[in-house]
Amino acid sequence: MEYDWDDGNVSHLGLHEITPIEAEEVLEDAPIVTQAQRHSGEDRFLVLGHTKSGRLLALVYTERGNKARVVTGYRMTKRQREIYFRERAL
């Protein structure tokens, strides 16, 4: 998968203490899609996943052409962690 990174989404992720590498790790390790919605004319997906170091992250991303563009991300909430571990156990 290719990614669409620029100063805007990299700095926004930085506000949440997430690096682009961590976001890519989440997207490349079979994340769980928990929500999809239409926003500004494009589909956006909320996914739950983990990094190689074990951080549990929620990401919102969209697909533009053949690239994934991460819009935002944050540490999973308690409820999201429950969903994540329940779904991973299946």
pTM: 0.92
pLDDT at 90: 74
29-82: per-residue pLDDT in tens? 989 999 999 998 999 999 999 999 999 999 999 999 999 999 999 999 999 999
pLDDT at 48: 97
pLDDT at 75: 97
pLDDT at 33: 93
Report which of residues 40 and 4 the model is more confident about: 4
DSSP 6-70: -HHHHHHHHHTT--HHHHHHHHHS-PEEEEEEEETTEEEEEEEEE-TT--EEEEEEEEETTEEEE
pLDDT at 21: 98
